[in-house]
Chains A and B, each alone.
Chain A
C-alpha cells in the first residue's frame, strides 16, 4: 500500500465548476501538507501548503487538512481552463536536516472545459 493515495483521474469539469481534489495518507508523522500543480511538459510548482490540521485559503483555492482522518483536500472555485493540469499532493515530517523530504501522491489530472 502506498503511503499517499490519490485518485489519478482524469477529472473533467466544465468551466466555472467547483473542483475537489483529495489525498489520503497512512503516516501519522506527516506535519506539512502541500499541493503542487504541474502543467504538461513542465516541472511541478508549489500551489499551497498547510501546517498540521485546518484550512487555508488563497484566492480561488482552499486547502484543507484533517489529520484525524489522514485526509487532505484542495478545492478550486470558479475553475478556469488555465487550471487544467496535474495536481500532486505532497507531505513531509520533521526529520532534521532532511526535514523537507517530500512524499508525493500519484497526481490527479484535471481538465476544465470551456
Chain B
C-alpha cells in the first residue's frame, strides 16, 4: 500500500519559532511536493523537488525553505513562523513522467500563535 507520511497531524508554534515539517514516502518516487491549503484558495505549491538535493520554488515560496537529503524524505522549514503561515500543509509524491498520480499525506494543521 502506497504511503506518504507526515510527521505531525497538529502543531502549535509561537511567532518567530523555526518550524520543521517532515514528510517521508515509501514508493521510491523522484518527485516530492509541499502545498498549503487554505479555505477558498485550494492547494498552492510552496516548493517541489524532482531529485535528491534538487529543489524548485513553487507559487508561494516566501518565508519557507526545503531540504531533500535523501530520496524518501522532504522537509519544509519555516525559518521564522508568522501567524499568516497558519494553514494546512500537505506533502505529496509522484514518479517521473509526463503525468503520474500524486499521492498525498494526511496533512499537518499548523497554528502559529
Contact = CB atoms under 8 A, between A and B. Distances in A.
- Pairing of A with B: yes
B98 A45 contact: no
Interface stretch (B12-20, B40-48, B67-75): B40-48
A100 B106 contact: no
Given A43-B105, A97-B50, A105 B42 contact: yes
Contacts of A101: 33, 45, 48, 58
A6 B42 contact: yes
B43 A44 contact: yes
Interface residues of A, number: 28
24 contacts: A6-B42, A8-B39, A41-B107, A42-B106, A43-B92, A43-B104, A43-B106, A44-B43, A45-B104, A49-B99, A49-B101, A88-B42, A88-B43, A94-B98, A97-B50, A97-B51, A100-B97, A101-B33, A101-B45, A102-B33, A104-B43, A104-B44, A106-B41, A106-B42
